Amino acid sequence: MCVSTVIPKEMMEKVETDTPVKTLPNKFIKSKEKYIKLHNKMVNGNVDSSNGEKLPKKTNMDKEEQVNQDILARSTVFLQIVFNYFATFKKSTFYTILSSTSQPIHVIIAIAVIISMSMMLPTSEKKQHKQSSLLSFIYLSSFVIHFGSQIWMTFVSGLSLYFALPRHAFGEVQRVLFPRYFTINAILSLITILTFVKYPIRNWDTETSVQIGTMILAFLIELLVRLYLVPPMMHLMCHKIALERAAGIGNEVGRFSAGPLKDCPHYLRMHQAFRKLHMVIAIGNILTMACTVSHLYYISSKLCTL
């Protein structure tokens, strides 16, 4: 049945004349124009977005704060350029060969061992060199930064983030920090050894030989961990996180829960391998800290009594 047959014609004409159909678009257009003008004034900085009041003009202090923010932002441009160059280098064929094959790693370890053994041999020349302030500054700076990074990474950053972040978020942070941590520590250990050996030592006694041996041990452990243990642990961590996210677990804080994967043999083997690598790396880190503390005691014993 048609609607026009039910409703009389006069009522239909009255309804059509009563509804202001033609006035609705005009209201929308006016509202649109009003808010466009308000938006343009907000962009120009003349009107507050909350109540439409005029904002005060920018003072000299505001301009100085803006300049300071620009300087702070510009200070990170150098690091961004370095990271961009490193990202480009990672895509090169040389980096692919260096990171995906084991031969370059063996060559690096062999060179490190040769350098370490050459440092253990005392020189036959007994020349009295003048103490260099720059050499002492480099030696103390490298040692202090090395020891400080060990304390921060082991006792402050690691424990604080583990009990404050979800497990997957903590794993992502550690995946970024672990390679940089052991790389920087190995470089600082090498600098400390080189500057300590070059320092004018009058008597090459047993105590000096022990200190050189402990610093070389710390350097080799950090280099071995970085080249042989960190890459497979990062690989296992990525696959482990992917499986846990697919199973809907990994958001717990300060604890581990396998959830529905507790009966998966593939996941359990992967988790066990990951825990073994992580434990070996932790033991290596503790050994390097013991070597650093031993050298710290040696430095404190050589200082004058306050």
What are the residue ranges of helices labelled H in 49-166?
60-74, 77-90, 93-100, 103-120, 133-151, 158-162
The residue with tokens 């007994």 is 126
Q: Are 186 and 223 in contact (CB under 8 A)?
A: yes
Distance CA 113, CA 99 (A): 20
The crossing angle, in degrees rounded to 10, of helices 167-198 and 103-120 is 40
Q: What is the pLDDT tens value at each position of the chain, 306 positions in all?
A: 444 444 455 444 544 444 444 444 566 677 767 777 776 766 565 544 445 455 455 555 454 455 455 666 666 776 677 777 777 866 777 666 666 666 677 777 778 777 777 776 665 554 445 567 888 899 999 999 999 999 999 999 988 999 999 999 999 999 999 999 999 999 999 999 988 887 655 566 788 888 988 999 999 999 999 989 999 999 999 999 999 988 888 888 988 888 888 888 999 999 999 999 999 999 999 999 999 999 999 988 887 644
How distant is the alpha carbon of residue 225 from its chain centre?
A: 18
Q: Which residues, other chains included, contact 222 with Cβ-Cβ below 8 Å and sequence gap of 6+?
A: 182, 185, 186, 189, 284, 288
pTM of the prediction? 0.68
Name the residue ranges covered by the structural domains of the chain: 108-300
DSSP state of 261: G
Distance CA 182, CA 136 (A): 24
Q: Are 187 and 238 in contact (CB under 8 A)?
A: no
